[in-house]
Structure 1
Amino acid sequence: MRDSQWIVEFNDTTTESAQNWATNVKNDLSKLAETRSVESMQWAKQSIYRIPRSVKDLCSGAYQPQTVSIGLYHHGDPHLQSMERHKHRALLTFLERSKKPLRCYLDALSPAAQDLRHAYHHLEPVWKGDTEAFLRVMIVDGCFILEIMRTATAAPESVEKMGYVRNDPVFSSHGALYFVPYIKRDMLMLENQIPLLALAILFVAEDDNLLVNGLSKLSMLILNFFSHPHDANKIHEYGKCLHILDLCRQSMLMRLSCQKANKPKNRWRFDSDCLPSTGVLKKGDVYIRSAMELTEAGIQFKQSRTRSLNDISFQGGVLRLPQIMVDDALESEYLNMIAFERFHVGAGSEVTSFVFFMDGIIDSARDVGLLHSRGIIQNALGSDKAVADLFNSLSRDVSLDPESSLAVLHQKVVEYCGKPLPRWMAYAKHNYFTNPWVGLSIVAAIFLFALTGIQTVYTVLGYYHSK
């Protein structure tokens, strides 16, 4: 039998196209091992992805930049062209202040051009074949990012020393108020990124004194710009961040050490390295109840010690959650972080799991009001219903990773809700001890009942003693 007959049994009626297809499959199969290796290397380098239409359709505005294009995917979009002249002004001011020619930055980026290209999941042919055009975008957009972050976080007099006039529409206190909030939102979109490597190269090439700790200083500049809390001494613990979105995501997680997570005993933290592997729930096994229902089951809500999305714990009927600010930018920020976790293998699922968890405990405005009263939710949207609707929409097409440590916390909460004593105590507290007079009346009644019981016992004992 011929070698190709294991694929398809040829005969006189077999079409030429079928024979060609069988031959192509055979050739591809012979190169399968090599193809796997090449694909694996390509996937490992990718970090900036196009959002599929099926995902965008759920909330298109969250993934589409409205003010400025960063990187390649939205370069040249007509509705973003008005910002291009400001990006060019930023480049000129950057070069003027650095006192270095453009060629210096081109030479610095050129050796990394291939790695920078590989960061993009999908590239149009023009970017693959024209290295100069590709580097031009990296430099212009990179310089714009550095300049907008510096001017937005500096005092007005310092901005003027950087080379910008006081009435500059973008690089000024006016721009920080009216333009920067929208630029920030666009800079945290997955499709609107440039590799952090490109920013780091430009940052260091500008100042030779930053060769040693340039990446740490760049990271602090980014986190200050986005008002993300961070510890300057622990920047290195974030690991290798791939772009601005990834860096901000890492700062929101700020993992706690296992020593802290294990004290006191039986304290369950959202940290998979510190949790046992047994008893993890499979997807769909259990759903967390709403905050109001959990309260009725005897669970108390308290604010965590940090704002880390990892700092979730449950102990002794107390569920601790990190404080979060819910504003207009949160939806886009969370959705893009969820998209990054979805498409980047190995990124983790912490933000996705957190959103899934919050959607479970937030069903209505009453749940939001309860969490707000406990200092967990800071509502900048206005109404509690708007916050509830936001979290319910964030969780569309989102599922909980059955291997995540949050599944363990789910199990502990559900087990606690099944105990009758906490529920009875919560019911009594809610119905009888919210009013101090009612509470005092109940205590007095119990006291009188106890006295009556004692009197009865003594009467009976006296009767038998007299006998």
Structure 2
Amino acid sequence: MAGTGWIIQVNEDLKDMEGLSTEKHHWNKGSIYKLPASLTDINKKAYKPQTVSFGPYHYDPSNPMEEHKHRALLHFLKRCGKSVELFVDALAEVENDLKDSYTLLHSVPKEVTDIFLQLMILDGCFMLEILRTAAHVQLEDYAPNDPIFSNHGRLHVVPYIKRDMLMLENQLPMLVLEKLVAVEHDKAKDEGFVTKLILKFLCSCNVSPNMAKGVHVLDVYRKSLLQHEPDHKYIRHKIRSMERDDEIIWSATELNEAGIRFKKSATTSLKDITFTRGVLRLPVVLVDDTTESMFLNLMAFERFHVGAGNEVTSYLLFMDNIIDNARDVALLHSKGIIHNALGSDKAVANLFNSLSKDVTQDPDSSLQIVHKRVYHYCRKPWNSWRANLIHTYFRNPWALRLDIPYIPITVHQMNLLLPLSFSFRLLLLQIIHHPTPPPHQHL
């Protein structure tokens, strides 16, 4: 039988249970998550900062970077001519909101939570200094041989800080950076100022006018990857009505053999994947040593932050579908879609295949439409016939001859055969340059 104390506690909690609106507000507060061991144990290095910690989850006073944080704070204060008390007071006004951003702050040691505002100021000022110097904002008060805030630091230290800044457990609320900048300049800067600074540092990309505000650096970066909507030239179907059970998309090389051509999308948005008239357009992606950690943390954010969306996860599942091995990577690389700075094509294939492991596809993803169209295109006999003709007669120009046995014929008979041979060639050219099937087979 259940213990009496537990029964009493449940009844008391039931009386104090929050209403729906209060509960909804509670869940909206959190944005920086402590990830479960079931996720991080698979690849600890991808989720744990290696160079610098931001926020309370990975704070370690023995980390050598803590000394550089203190030094950066002094430079920051001296340059703006403001006392540290002004910054403490500004953040104290929103301390509860900042703490609510961390969903498992209670799991952090008490000695860390006791210095919460101190961490926010030290880490926030350090992050702003990194954003500015790495984005080539002139800060003349650092020595030219400074180990962090110099050309040397930009080359040898900042890349590792950038990687750590894109880890979900290693985030600062955007409110921290905005408050620090507001006190520094005696007024709030325009709403997109910090966002522009972040994107200039991370990817040198511009902010779209309709880009929503991010809750932290990782969220800002995610939104920058999804800024542009694809230009779909077809009518959207209701995704719910699709028959998806047996719709398996082929690998890139198999799709190419089936006559599908690959081209770069007009934008770099991960949502800009389209399929029209036998052409599959994909955004350009750079794959390097930081790609795995970056994508894993973006997927973790989509998984735990309700309402964030599933666009990055859907993109990676789609890429996993069309990449089976090194040949698929080589094909996409030849089309300018994958820029391989990781190493071998096999390593890139293994990366995409591992990223989507144990990940669930969103049935409402717009990529399901692309998936469906590619699948049905490959099932059309006309498209397979055309692809076979291309591969048979146009890969080798000598294959265009009429392959018939030698038979002695008269000049008159030759004159009759030549128009037929010419007509056959014209038919092949018509198929190549006009891939649209007859009206009754139109896709």
- TM interval, shorter chain, is 0.7 to 0.9
Is the 8 Å Cα contact of residues 113 and 131 (structure 1) preserved in structure 2? no
Is the 8 Å Cα contact of residues 95 and 102 (structure 1) preserved in structure 2? yes
- Matched to 1:451, the amino acid is P
Distance in structure 2 (CA, Å) of the matches to 1:369 and 1:293? 13
Distance in structure 2 (CA, Å) of the matches to 1:104 and 1:203? 12
1:451 Cα deviation from its structure 2 partner = 3.2
Which of 275, 280, 303 is matched with 2:264 structurally? 303
Distance in structure 1 (CA, Å) of the matches to 2:51 and 2:143? 22
1:154 Cα deviation from its structure 2 partner = 1.4
Which of 335, 339, 359 is matched with 2:296 structurally? 335
Bigger helix fraction: 1
State the partner residue of 2:425: none
Is the 8 Å Cα contact of residues 239 and 363 (structure 2) preserved in structure 1? no
Alignment of 1:240-279 (within 5 A): 240-256=213-229, 261-262=231-232, 264=233, 266=234, 275-279=236-240
Which of 348, 351, 361 is matched with 1:390 structurally? 351
Which of 25, 35, 56 is matched with 1:41 structurally? 25
Which of 195, 200, 211 is matched with 1:224 structurally? 200
Distance in structure 1 (CA, Å) of the matches to 2:220 and 2:389? 47
The 3 A distance-change label for structure 1 pair 123 and 237 is same
The 3 A distance-change label for structure 1 pair 358 and 391 is same
Gapped runs of 5+ residues in structure 1?
A: 1-14, 268-274, 455-467
State the partner residue of 2:419: 451
1:323 Cα deviation from its structure 2 partner = 0.5
Is the 8 Å Cα contact of residues 291 and 361 (structure 1) preserved in structure 2? yes
- Matched to 1:111, the amino acid is E
- Matched to 1:409, the amino acid is V
1:352 Cα deviation from its structure 2 partner = 0.4
Count of aligned pairs between the two proteins: 414
State the partner residue of 1:312: 273
| Matched position secondary structure for 2:339 | strand
Is the 8 Å Cα contact of residues 228 and 267 (structure 2) preserved in structure 1? no
1:246 Cα deviation from its structure 2 partner = 0.1
State the partner residue of 1:69: 53
1:47 Cα deviation from its structure 2 partner = 0.2
1:152 Cα deviation from its structure 2 partner = 1.3
Distance in structure 1 (CA, Å) of the matches to 2:172 and 2:305? 15
The 3 A distance-change label for structure 1 pair 451 and 381 is same
Alignment of 1:16-415 (within 5 A): 17-32=2-17, 34=18, 37-76=21-60, 78=62, 81-124=63-106, 133-154=115-136, 158-159=138-139, 161=140, 163-208=141-186, 211-213=188-190, 215-231=191-207, 234=208, 236-256=209-229, 261-262=231-232, 264=233, 266=234, 275-281=236-242, 286-415=247-376
Show CA shifts across 1:398-436 (max 9, x none).
Answer: 121011111121111111111111122112212321123
- Matched to 2:238, the amino acid is S
State the partner residue of 1:7: none
1:450 Cα deviation from its structure 2 partner = 6.5
Distance in structure 1 (CA, Å) of the matches to 2:254 and 2:143? 56
Is the 8 Å Cα contact of residues 297 and 423 (structure 1) preserved in structure 2? yes
CA RMSD of aligned residues (A): 2.7
Show CA shifts across 1:184-214 (max 9, x none).
Answer: 0000000000101111111121113x6251x
Distance in structure 2 (CA, Å) of the matches to 1:452 and 1:375? 40
- Matched to 1:121, the amino acid is T
State the partner residue of 1:4: none
1:230 Cα deviation from its structure 2 partner = 2.0
Is the 8 Å Cα contact of residues 279 and 408 (structure 1) preserved in structure 2? no
Give the TM-score normalised by the residue count of structure 2.
Answer: 0.87
1:125 Cα deviation from its structure 2 partner = 6.7
Is the 8 Å Cα contact of residues 283 and 402 (structure 1) preserved in structure 2? no
1:282 Cα deviation from its structure 2 partner = 7.2
Of 218-227 and 362-371, deviating more is 218-227
Distance in structure 2 (CA, Å) of the matches to 1:61 and 1:126? 20
Gapped runs of 5+ residues in structure 2?
A: 406-414, 423-443
1:22 Cα deviation from its structure 2 partner = 4.0
Show CA shifts across 1:346-380 (max 9, x none).
Answer: 00000000000001100000000000111100111
Is the 8 Å Cα contact of residues 117 and 128 (structure 1) preserved in structure 2? no
- Matched to 1:97, the amino acid is R
| Matched position secondary structure for 1:398 | coil
Distance in structure 2 (CA, Å) of the matches to 1:112 and 1:26? 33
The 3 A distance-change label for structure 1 pair 126 and 326 is closer
Is the 8 Å Cα contact of residues 108 and 201 (structure 1) preserved in structure 2? yes
Is the 8 Å Cα contact of residues 280 and 408 (structure 1) preserved in structure 2? no
Distance in structure 2 (CA, Å) of the matches to 1:177 and 1:383? 25
1:96 Cα deviation from its structure 2 partner = 0.7
Distance in structure 2 (CA, Å) of the matches to 1:448 and 1:112? 90
